Structure 1
Amino acid sequence: MSIIIQNISKSYNKIKAVEGISFEVKEGELFGLIGPDGAGKTTIFRILTTLLLANEGSATVAGFDVVKEYKAIRNSVGYMPGKFSLYQDLSVEENLTFFATIFGTTISANYDLIKDIYVQIEPFKTRRAGALSGGMKQKLALCCALIHKPKVLFLDEPTTGVDPVSRKEFWEMLKRLQQTGITILVSTPYMDEAALCDRIALIQKGKILKIDSPENIIKKYDKTIYDIRTENMHQLILDLKDYPSQYSVYAFGEFIHYIDKNTDFNSKDLAEYLIDKKHQEITIQPATTTIEDVFMDL
């Protein structure tokens, strides 16, 4: 295993950031830590990258203990924190040279690993990092995290605040990097990105809810979800929550996702109920289950 976490807990004063977290990441795997802000993702990343000590539990990264062998870990991993943390007054090229020098290497020595990413920012190599767009900053940060050929790559919410096109490009880059044998642990609050990982851990309020491949998590979900839409969507939510057999109601894109408690649910009964509530242009149809639906239920 490339990463092993056993019963890790961390508290800030009386607030428990993570509690009894355990999971493993295989070598060469693209593993996603999926959850909203405040779920404990960044705390786990800081513990694994030796920036923070856990109150309880143990962890190893690339075979090294995070407490006893922290120096070896720092030489073996690449870390891209959630906040852009490169030197904003240095140029693209100067930042990359600086990080290569720290790790006792050069840009040319490991250029094959970053080439596909660096060619996209090379036209701006003399521009100061602080003047780059969000997507370009992201690519530069990834290059700096890879310049020493790490065994494990940690990416903490790398696509937050980045436009959809750059997000798509970034995940394509991760897939190509994975093919070189690098183990990648990535965190994200975006549920649609979960489907791009080999396996995921769903996390909320410092606790792991479920660990499996995205496909298995969806396949094992045993409830039927319905897309519902009417002219008055705000009132629809309120009325669905008052329906006697409702199990779950929440907004999902242009629809309301509805789950009924009864396995013999009849959509005609619900339609009649909505008509009585003065709704018009009613649509009720089975929905495709997503990771977000499972997370909301959990």
Structure 2
Amino acid sequence: MSVDSVNAVDITNLTVRRRKKAALDDVNLSIPRGTITGLLGPSGCGKSTLMRAIVGTQIIESGTVTVLGLPAGSKQLRSTVGYVAQTPSVYGDLTVRENVTYFAALFGRPAASADSAIESVGLTDHASSLAGELSGGQLGRVSLASALVAQPEFIVLDEPTVGLDPVLRAELWKRFADLAASGTTILVSSHAMEEADHCSRLILMREGKVLAQLSPAELRSRTGETSLEKAFLSLILSSGTIEAAS
């Protein structure tokens, strides 16, 4: 059982190195409970490494990562933290329903909860299909349903909307909003700035560093830009991490 704390995540001076290069460089951040926090930045900036550190699967060089009041990776967090990686984690020789029902059983949830999770990701019509016969985008949704069926307090989603059509993407964001309203904390990564407006808070990253932690409105106010993509670029330029075009 998780320990009560104000934030779902607190990270202090986190550094991760790969081949002597800092994948994460002295990262400090917090994620309030019951929020949708967007983790945004270009590919290779350290988003996935940070998410792995939060769920306790990343070897770190220094710093602390606390999740729901406990050290990241603690045994007590296995039933309260969900993680959906970019690479789908499903069994290809099982149907969609069998995959999700299996994960429901692992977390002590009733089998009937599988159908609700499948419906929430728009796969009801494919519930009896073998996972191995699905498209990449559909497999990602099976992984998401398998995480949601556990009803975690905190869920980490690594690029969950990649490859999805606009209608389904909008439906998923509505589902995320409903989860946050019920008290679930969501950390969702994306390289698409247009998705940032769905988040109450943003963590903006570049080259292993956190450039800012703020709301979409605060980002617009700070930069004077109405477009979040332009606002992020303005923030990068003002931080000196790249040179302005001549």
TM bin (shorter chain): 0.7 to 0.9
What's the Cα RMSD here? 1.9
Residue in 2 aligned with 1:99?
103
Aligned-partner Cα distance in 2 for 1:13–1:41: 18
Unaligned ranges ≥5, structure 1: 223-287
Note the 1:208-227 alignment, pairs <5 A. Answer: 208-222=210-224
Residue in 1 aligned with 2:240?
none
In the TM superposition, structure 1's runs of 4+ consecutive aligned residues that sit over 4 Å from their partners are 110-113
Residue in 2 aligned with 1:158?
160
Larger Rg computed on CA atoms: 1
State the AA in 2 paired with 1:185: L
Residue in 2 aligned with 1:296?
233
Q: With structure 2 as the length reference, what TM-score do the two structures score?
A: 0.86
What fraction of aligned residue pairs are identical, expressed as a percent? 34
| Contact 1:50 1:74 (8 Å CA) reproduced | no
Aligned-partner Cα distance in 1 for 2:180–2:139: 21
Unaligned ranges ≥5, structure 2: 1-6, 237-246
State the AA in 2 paired with 1:294: A
Q: Say if 1:125 and 1:113 are closer, same or farther in 2 by CA, change over 3 A.
A: closer
Note the 1:66-145 alignment, pairs <5 A. Answer: 66=72, 70-108=74-112, 110=113, 114=117, 116-117=119-120, 120-145=122-147
Q: With structure 1 as the length reference, what TM-score do the two structures score?
A: 0.72
Q: 2:41 aligns with which of 28, 31, 35?
A: 35
Q: 1:5 aligns with which of 11, 25, 48?
A: 11
Alpha-carbon distance, 1:291 to partner? 1.7
Query: What do the CA deviations read for 1:20-79 (whole angstroms, capped 9, x no partner)?
Result: 111111110100110111010000111111111211110111111115xx2112221111
Task: Report how many residues are paired.
Answer: 229
| Contact 1:217 1:291 (8 Å CA) reproduced | yes
| Contact 1:113 1:149 (8 Å CA) reproduced | no
Relative contact order higher in (CA < 8 Å, ≥ 6 apart): 2
Aligned-partner Cα distance in 2 for 1:37–1:102: 33
State the AA in 1 paired with 2:92: Q
Query: What do the CA deviations read for 1:114-141 (whole angstroms, capped 9, x no partner)?
Result: 37516x3223221011222444333322
Q: Which SS does the other structure have where 2:88 is aligned?
A: coil
Residue in 2 aligned with 1:237?
none
